[in-house]
Amino acid sequence: MVEESFCVGCGHVITMATVGCRVDGDFVLPEMEGGHCVLFYCKECWQGVVDRIDGHMDKARKLTRELEEMDDKDSMGK
């Protein structure tokens, strides 16, 4: 096992003793060939991922509506 890597969230070097999460799996790209990857997150960045996925699609839809409303208010020409 690798003893140090970097966080895909912030880019800082992390050690396996301080890693927040290790994601190991396949990925698929639209209209392209996929592959396999191993991603590491530091504890702080992983907590950010956990916070974002908490609430699932309901939270994502609410955020999208909020951004669309902000865009409607701030768009040029309105």
Q: What is the DSSP string of 7-61?
A: -TTT--EEETTTEEEEEEEEEEETTEEEEEEEEEEEHHHHHHHHHHHTTHHHHHH
Average pLDDT for 26-44: 94
Mean pLDDT of 46-71: 88
pLDDT, averaged across the chain = 88
- Express as a percent the part of the chain with pLDDT over 70: 92
User: Which one-letter amino acid corresponds to residue 58?
Assistant: D
Tell me which DSSP letter residue 62 carries: H
pTM recorded for the entire structure: 0.69
Query: What pLDDT is attached to residue 53?
Result: 85
What mean pLDDT do residues 38-43 have?
95
